[in-house]
Structure 1
Amino acid sequence: MVREDWTFQDLLAAGWSEADLEWERLAEAAFTALAAGKNDVVGSEIAAALRLARAEFAANDPRLAASLSNQAAIVATDGNGGAERIRAAAVQAWAACDGWIEAMTAPRTARSSMFHLRMERLHRPAYEERWRVRGRELLATLREEIHADAPLALIAPEEAASRLARWHRERPVTLSDPRKLMAAVILLAAREKGAPDAARHVPEAERQLHR
């Protein structure tokens, strides 16, 4: 697992908490176990991520929606009751994410060009709106791929390994709202039952967040 070394000062400066990083760690651990076929470990890590998301994140946070979807998928895979109830909660959570997107702030990234830095400061509202547009597009794509009327299942181990590698490769280098959104989308272990891939078109939308 690829680790990052963030200090408490880094978290404060970015407006992040230890819970934000812990959710990523739990999600990564779940994907590592899923890629290895260790579903018993997957379930415990997904459940821990959901408990943290419920305790620490806003009701419209996409990471809570992802955690609920993942929990619905593991419960359905294990054949336990309650999957539909959790799935319904996940659908509501994804629907509420519009408000989170509207409040999303763009990262302040360092650039080599002083011209770009000045332009970003002068046009900050437009710069932030561009990120929100990308977030809306990404959320819309995800909703199309995971419909409210279909049961969920876990993605295959190969897909889990691919998504985990992509997360380590493409996650933003700054602690930011776009990083939170990307984590929720890439580290989504749920797919529609019977579908080959829960997010066939999502990778392209993910790349939009880097532009």
Structure 2
Amino acid sequence: MSFMTMNMFAPRIWGFDRADAEWRTAREAGWSRADLAWERLMETGCRRLEKTSDRSLFKAASRCFLAADLLARARFAKGDPRRATGPAARWRLKGTERLRDRALREWGGVAAYIETLEIRPRARSSLFHLRMEARHRDTYHANLRKRLSAFAAETGETLRGAGAHRHASRWRGEKPTVFDDTRKLLSACLLIPDISR
């Protein structure tokens, strides 16, 4: 499937106009158009599944996940955990084991990804907390990596069928405001629909 065909699935998601503040912020942080388009496709698919009784929304969500899957395979490097999220989402909808198997293969390198991810400074509520983070950066980063590893472990359990974790419903609360690798990893972990077929 070409990117032109994928564009028919979600024209508003692909488009980035100059007034799009999120796109400007993401671009200034070094994100590519594909990074934000993938996230928006997955978010849109998950949102559409909140009304699972509407069959047309179910199909529209499936198309968003397919487009995100194709985009990830075309634009993201091997070892990027987002390459596992599209097939994982499609597996949750369709129950197709080959999609789950592909998601598990792609998810296999997540531990190495967590060790190498770039963590950018967070906004802090006070100058004291900002100074504490600057003074103890290694500790902050180690704690954040530990927390991210817990999210990744839950996602791995879901893919193996060993746990009934909620993913998409947690995204809104966990979504980082910083455009860095932690946001990419959390989106890979959490933008999986909470329903199964």
TM-score (normalizing by structure 2): 0.73
Alignment of 1:35 onto 2:50: yes
Structure 1 residues 147 and 191, CA gap change in structure 2 (3 angstroms): farther
The corresponding residue for 2:5 is none
The answer to whether the 8 A contact 2:79-2:109 is kept is yes
- What is the rounded CA distance, in whole Å, between the counterparts of 1:58 and 1:16 in structure 2? 14
The corresponding residue for 1:101 is 114
One of 120, 132, 139 as aligned partner of 1:119: 132
How large is the Cα RMSD of the aligned pairs? 2.9
| 31-40 or 99-108, larger mean C-alpha shift | 31-40
The answer to whether the 8 A contact 1:146-1:191 is kept is no
One of 9, 22, 31 as aligned partner of 2:37: 22
The corresponding residue for 2:12 is none
One of 32, 56, 71 as aligned partner of 2:75: 56
The gaps in structure 2 that reach 5 residues or longer are: 1-19
Describe the SS at the equivalent of 1:184.
Answer: helix
Name the % identity: 34
TM-score (normalizing by structure 1): 0.69
Work out which structure has the larger RCO, using CA pairs closer than 8 Å and 6 or more positions apart in sequence.
Answer: 1
- What is the rounded CA distance, in whole Å, between the counterparts of 2:37 and 2:76 in structure 1? 12
The gaps in structure 1 that reach 5 residues or longer are: 77-82, 194-211
The answer to whether the 8 A contact 1:60-1:97 is kept is yes
Structure 1 residue 22: deviation in Å? Answer: 0.8
| 1:73 aligned partner, one-letter code | R
Alignment of 1:44 onto 2:54: no
The corresponding residue for 2:21 is 5
The corresponding residue for 1:187 is 191
The answer to whether the 8 A contact 1:172-1:179 is kept is yes
The answer to whether the 8 A contact 1:146-1:192 is kept is no
Structure 1 residues 118 and 20, CA gap change in structure 2 (3 angstroms): same
Question: What number of residue pairs does the alignment pair up?
Answer: 173
The answer to whether the 8 A contact 1:60-1:96 is kept is yes
The answer to whether the 8 A contact 1:91-1:148 is kept is no
| 1:139 aligned partner, one-letter code | A
Write out per-residue CA displacement over residues 77-121 of structure 1, whole angstroms, 9 at most, x where no aligned residue: xxxxxx333221111111111111111232311224333323322
Structure 1 residue 60: deviation in Å? Answer: 1.9
